[in-house]
Amino acid sequence: MTPEQPLGSVIQGSLSQGLEVRLHPDVSVEDMRVGKFLVVQGVRSRFFCMLTDVALGTASNRILANPPDPSNTFLQEVLAGTGTFGTINLTPMLMFTPKIEEQGNKVAEEQKSKKNSKLKTENSKLASYEANTSAVELMPVKTIPSHFSQVYDASERDFRAVFGWEDDPHRRNFAIGQPIDMDVPICLDLDRFVERSNGVFGKSGTGKSFLTRLLLSGIIRKQAAVNLIFDMHSEYGWEAAKEGKQLSTVKGLRQLFPSQVQIYTLDPDSTKRRGVRDAQELYISYDQIEVEDLALVRGELNLSETSLENAIILRNEFGKSWITRLLAMSNEEIQEFCEMKMGNKSSIMALQRKLIRLDDLKYLRSASPKNYVGQILESLEAGKHVVVEFGSQSNLLSYMLATNVIARRIHASYVYKAEKFLQTKNPSDRPHQLVITIEEAHRFLDPGTVRQTIFGTIAREMRKYFVTLLVVDQRPSGIDNEVMSQIGTRITALLNDEKDIDAIFTGVSGGQALRSVLAKLDSKQQALILGHAVPMPVVVRTRPYDETFYAEIGETPWEDLPTETIFKAAESAKADLGF
């Protein structure tokens, strides 16, 4: 039931503070790493634990007062394990409790025996998993093991019992990585993942984009939801640069899933220069911009509160075309308008000057020839995943304005469809679960603007209207606490700032013990995962995003598609653009 070689014995502890374990003399303290998983074998239950701290202990203060000479290796070996020893602190996460008491139910034992014999003949991964886990039940930790309970390395069976396996026919599991010291997959339950808003956090250079690309690939592969990705730096659609001394690229979602992913671009020239195939152009008209959208970017446009109040007066007078009318007004027309509508002339003139900056945004038009947002909705309704590229239009003003305008209209459509579904109860009326990915999330979700953005609304509503967020950010402390408390699953790479670390554990019980784990992560390819989509917090070596991953998860590569398929895709894109 447990590995043969015990690592140590429980010497003290509590349910709230965790367990202290003294390592056996033949176990090196240097083999114990923060984030490692161990199992404590109790009398009735096994306790699945995370290692949160490592320490050195001595049996007597006299040893510390008079330590052996460095050259006296014999004395050091004599003291090792008795006078000096290593200790580790463990935080129990889950209990494996037998479903059948050993005193015993004979009928249950006979059924178990028959099942085991049947499983042996099947000789499959699924049968092996069920044989190993059917006799135990996962339970929250409500007690602790007794003194001198033995501690063992967690086995592959333990990990599979907790995190499942990727080919589970009953769940949409996706292997996000492996434990730091084992080669067994750690799986996310994607159905639970997409039903709440989630976050990918980490300081700059820790691989947030690669982590996000992994998650999006899993959602597409397992068909857990449809994705709308606001790609600020054009990293998710076609290809992206790989960090390192040598210049190389990795495939984007369009190359991995050519028939399922559609790219829309706000900067067609940039998209063509990068060799992106059959991307569709996307434009936004001035009449789609609301005063609330301008309030979100008031810092970038340097708008005062008075200017926004006068914008509301203009909107009430001219309707949706108020920005076009304002930009075309002369000083005399502004003066006449202010006399009639009690507006402030200087504020309206200042508003006009500042809104002229919008002309610099390539994707804005006085009038749009077609409903591009409607096209995106049609793609999402058809089960297509949409990447919106910004190209050279990736400054904060451009990104925040376009993202808010598009997401607000899409969310309004989803609210309408969700309400219709709740009325009819017809499965055909149920909208696809939608995951919206945004970068620089703290710009949309900080306490000062969260009430003015559609993303704050989505984060608070959670799954009520089948729309959730995947926020990608390096400053989680900038996100409103109420929104952070609604983040279901948090995937966090290395963070150094204390405020950011505190934000990660907002609303998480037992977060204090995990702080040391997060602080000790490697700067690359390691992450702490906690929340709704995993049964317990876990540190993983994230799955490599490479050729092996492409082969395992992608559909037919773009290069392998028949020539006529590519030709038809290009012709379809041209037809959509009116060519």
Q: Are 352 and 327 in contact (CB under 8 A)?
A: yes
- The whole-angstrom separation of Cα 283 and Cα 263 is 13
Beta strands across the sheet bearing 280-281: 186-189, 173-179, 538-542, 526-531, 489-492, 198-201, 467-473, 434-439, 226-231, 385-389, 261-265, 280-281
φ/ψ region of 275 (left if φ > 0, alpha if ψ in -120 to 50, else beta) reads: left
| pLDDT tens per residue across all 579 residues of the chain | 444 789 999 999 998 889 999 999 888 888 898 888 999 998 888 899 989 889 988 888 877 777 887 887 777 777 776 788 889 999 998 888 876 544 344 444 545 554 454 444 334 444 344 444 455 678 888 899 999 999 999 888 888 888 888 888 888 899 999 988 788 889 999 999 999 999 999 888 888 888 999 999 999 999 999 999 998 888 888 888 876 656 778 888 999 999 899 999 988 888 888 888 788 888 888 888 888 888 888 888 888 888 888 888 888 888 888 888 888 888 888 888 887 877 778 888 888 888 888 888 888 888 777 888 889 999 998 899 999 998 887 788 888 888 888 988 888 898 888 888 888 888 888 888 999 999 888 888 888 878 778 888 888 876 678 899 999 999 999 998 888 888 889 999 988 888 888 888 877 766 677 887 888 888 888 899 998 899 888 889 998 888 888 888 876 555 554 444 444 444 444 444 343
For 485, other C-beta atoms within 10 Å of its C-beta total 12
Structure tokens of 416? 């309408």
pLDDT of residue 569: 45
3-state helix, strand, coil in the chain (%, to 5): 45, 20, 35
Tell me the per-residue pLDDT of 405-430, one tens digit each, with 9 for 90 and over. Answer: 898 888 889 888 888 888 888 888 88
- The whole-angstrom separation of Cα 104 and Cα 110 is 11
pLDDT of residue 230: 92
DSSP 184: S
Structure tokens of 2? 């447990």
- The whole-angstrom separation of Cα 182 and Cα 150 is 20
Structure tokens of 73? 């290796």
Tell me the per-residue pLDDT of 103-154, one tens digit each, with 9 for 90 and over. Answer: 344 444 545 554 454 444 334 444 344 444 455 678 888 899 999 999 999 8
Classify residue 245 as exposed, middle or buried by CB count within 10 Å of its CB (0-12, 13-18, 19+).
exposed
DSSP 320: G
For 30, other C-beta atoms within 10 Å of its C-beta total 8
Q: Are 439 and 474 in contact (CB under 8 A)?
A: no
Q: Are 478 and 442 in contact (CB under 8 A)?
A: yes
Tell me the per-residue pLDDT of 355-365, one tens digit each, with 9 for 90 and over. Answer: 888 888 888 88
Q: What stretches of 108-163 adopt beta strand conformation (E)?
A: 136-140, 150-153
Q: Are 577 and 280 in contact (CB under 8 A)?
A: yes
For 539-555, give the DSSP string.
Answer: EEEEPP-SHHHHHHH--
- The whole-angstrom separation of Cα 374 and Cα 354 is 29
**Residue given tokens 């006078």 in the structure block:** 83
- The whole-angstrom separation of Cα 170 and Cα 309 is 54
Angle between helices 125-133 and 106-122 (to 10 degrees): 160
Long-range contacts of 144-147 (CB under 8 A, 24+ apart): 144/13, 144/14, 144/15, 144/19, 144/47, 144/92, 145/10, 145/19, 145/40, 145/41, 145/42, 145/43, 145/45, 145/47, 146/10, 146/42, 146/43, 147/10, 147/11, 147/12
pLDDT of residue 213: 92
For 44-77, give the DSSP string.
Answer: S-EEEEEEEEEEEEES-HHHHHSPPPTT-HHHHH
Q: Are 161 and 132 in contact (CB under 8 A)?
A: yes
**Residue given tokens 């990727």 in the structure block:** 166
3-state secondary structure 489-529: EEEECCCCCHHHHHHHCCCCCCHHHHHHHHHCCCCCCEEEE
At 577 the three-state DSSP class reads coil
Q: Which of 245, 128, 243 is nearest to 184 (CA)?
A: 128
pLDDT of residue 336: 84
- The whole-angstrom separation of Cα 490 and Cα 529 is 6
pLDDT of residue 300: 85
Tell me the per-residue pLDDT of 188-240, one tens digit each, with 9 for 90 and over. Answer: 999 999 999 999 998 888 888 889 999 999 999 999 999 999 988 888 888 88
DSSP 439: E
